[in-house]
Amino acid sequence: MDLSRMPPDWPRRDSIRRVQSRPHDWCVIDTGPKDRPTLLMLHGAGGSGHSFRALIPLLAPHYHLIVPDLPGQGFTRPGSRSRYGLDAMAEDIATLCATMGLTPTFILGHSAGAAIALRMAQSAAVRAVIGINAALGSFEGAAGVMFPLLARALAAAPFVPHLVSKLWGNPQSVGRLLASTGSPLDATGQRQYLALVRDSAHVEGTLGMMAQWRLDGLMAALPRLQTPTLLIASTGDKAVPARVSAEAARQMPNALYSEIPGYGHLLHEEAAETVAETALPWLGQQEKLFCE
């Protein structure tokens, strides 16, 4: 989506930067004190940095926040549509950070963003990772049925994103899709996702990501990943059940699992204060450890 089409009430638009970092033209929220550790925040498939709208003001007093839209999604324009897979996205986000002169101390990722965070931690000096309803397996419910089918259709028929945008770009369809994840959201949240779904370029980027998404390498490496990791899951998630994070934490040598009752897949949008109350003390502990 072009920045000229950004709705006037789009979250954090006053903190947004355009960053040219090969191969993409990135849209990045850059906020918080520059003298604090950098916390990179990665949204999930089908979203954008806007999804952290309620969490950003709770974390920004404590950390320098960098929140990019993933390639092809939100307002980041892709320079290559062959780089929507896990490894390529992790590499390109690392390049983005280097272009900005930043080395993330921490990475927080939601859903597929958590998988990217863990992949980056395998090859970068990241001090700690937080995953929120980490997508470390197949989606379930409506998302599990629709995403793979549409991703395969995209590979065969480039007109599909325009068709999806037309068919689903209405309040009723977006409301049903959000509800199917266990997170119906309020009117403002639904309106923001509606703006994304109505943009065929965003739909194309999302489906392209699904078509290229492979987790086998990451999952095989989890038992060897030493990076301290906090996996937060909500029991009402209908897209990625809490057991996915619980099982991943059991496989990892330095991971902690935290479960929050109720709420759906978009936990950080429904209950940002609860997420912040869980994340901030843990991040503070990690800071103390590497400062000693």
Residue 156 domain-assigned (yes or no): no
Reading the block at residue 210, the tokens are: 């699904």
The H or E element spanning position 258 is strand 255-260
Let me know if residue 185 belongs to a domain: no
What pLDDT, on a 0 to 100 scale, did the predictor assign at position 76? 98
pLDDT in tens, 52-95: 999 999 999 999 999 999 999 999 999 998 999 999 999 999 99
Task: For residue 254, give its domain range.
Answer: 3-139+214-291
| Position 106 in a domain | yes
Is 165 inside a domain boundary? no
Q: What is the pLDDT of residues 253-278, one digit of tens each?
A: 999 999 999 999 999 999 999 999 99
How many domains does one find in the chain? 1
For the record, the structure tokens of 84 come out as 């929507």
Is 17 within a domain?
A: yes
Per-residue buried b or exposed e for 199-237, using 16+ beta carbons within 10 Å of the residue's own CB: bbbbbbbbbbbbbbbebeebeeebeebebbbbbbbbebb
Cα–Cα distance, 91 to 248 (Å, whole number): 23
| Residue 153 belongs to a domain | no
CATH, residue 82: 3.40.50.1820
Instruction: With respect to residue 181, please indicate whether it lies within any of the assigned structural domains.
Output: no
Q: For residues 232 and 221, is the Cβ–Cβ distance under 8 A?
A: no
Give residue-wise pLDDT tens across range 203-234. 999 988 988 889 999 999 999 999 999 999 99
d(CA 221, CA 192): 36
Is 18:25 a contact under the CB 8 Å cutoff?
yes
Q: Would the CA dihedral through 126, 127, 130, 134 be positive or negative?
A: positive
Assess if residue 183 is contained within a domain. Answer: no
